[in-house]
Structure 1
């Protein structure tokens, strides 16, 4: 194994442990998420097992970071951020932040009304703030329903049952900030 390869793989274990702890995820939960065993994950984090690409790809996906961040690939000098859209439940989600843990930023594109796979309200830990970039948004929060247009924003505790979707025959694009541990995106002035 060449010296360059040793350098690139040297700190993988520590980075993996740091990312997992920053997300507040257990080895068991990460094992379920990645399909790797908790024992393998522990050995990777402790540096007792040399990582393979087949192990690193699901870990990068689970932690929401580029593969380069895990293996400390030498910087290319390219300042551009390469955004990789993800399709989930009919939505197009573009992660705008690369770090694990803390408040995460996304651009989310909701399909035109009637094309969504579900209007079932969901609940989960966290706090969310969104800003409507284009289109009209139907936002259901608890027993209330709101219609938001371009330039309008909303913030809410995601433990309250909620659903967000396009309100008409056009797609709706939102800028979303989400704090998985319930971090608020900003302090609202008291009224």
Structure 2
């Protein structure tokens, strides 16, 4: 086995259940979206039944995942190389890059870079219902969570529910770098 791969022993049923739970969907809601019975979905998740590809496609559509993810026997070890990262602009004067694979089901993380007075946006935003931590790596950020605002310096962090409206902005007219960690993924 190549050194950059790890064995993945999860069954199709375990992968379906894990994804459903990450999305915080019920058996009933997924079965309705996929046009199958709740008991059949439960049996699939417990590996007591199998389904056609067409049925798996409907279930995966409801779970917002590619069908191929059910059959991958190996998971790539993810190495993030900052020097070659493809940062995406967002907000005003800010860039963000995901540093965990999109296939992660328990943790999602990003690095954000802020130019002078850069911000995630003028408006507060919220997403999902995850536990989220923002860690300032360098510079200083003014972080607003709900109605509270805090100024954080290097290695300061703040934790909050991602469902609470929030915003970050560079505080001193310099540059800042931060890391966001969310569990489960919700962005």
TM bucket, shorter chain: 0.5 to 0.7
CA distance in 2, matches of 1:49, 1:56: 11
Residue equivalent to 1:96: 100
CA distance in 2, matches of 1:22, 1:122: 21
Residue equivalent to 1:108: 111
Q: 1:55 and 1:89, CA in 2 relative to 1: closer, same or farther beyond 3 A?
A: farther
More strand by share: 2
Residue equivalent to 2:148: 144
TM-score, normalised to structure 2's length?
A: 0.55
Contact 1:110 1:165 in 2 (8 A): no
Q: Which consecutive residues of structure 1, in runs of 5 or more, have no partner in the other structure?
A: 1-10, 32-36, 182-191
CA distance in 1, matches of 2:114, 2:163: 24
Q: In the TM superposition, what is the alpha-carbon distance from 1:132 to its structure 2 partner? A: 0.9
Q: In the TM superposition, what is the alpha-carbon distance from 1:22 to its structure 2 partner? A: 4.4
Q: How does 1:1-191 map to 2 (within 5 A)?
A: 11-26=11-26, 38-39=34-35, 47-50=50-53, 62=64, 70-74=70-74, 80-83=77-80, 87=88, 89-90=90-91, 91-96=95-100, 99-101=104-106, 104-113=107-116, 116=119, 118-123=121-126, 125-168=129-172, 171-180=175-184
Q: In the TM superposition, what is the alpha-carbon distance from 1:25 to its structure 2 partner? A: 2.0
CA distance in 1, matches of 2:35, 2:90: 32
Which piece of structure 1 moves more, 128-137 or 160-169?
Answer: 160-169
Which piece of structure 1 moves more, 129-138 or 111-120?
Answer: 111-120
Q: In the TM superposition, what is the alpha-carbon distance from 1:109 to its structure 2 partner? A: 0.8
CA distance in 2, matches of 1:134, 1:57: 40
Contact 1:126 1:157 in 2 (8 A): yes
Q: In the TM superposition, what is the alpha-carbon distance from 1:139 to its structure 2 partner? A: 0.4
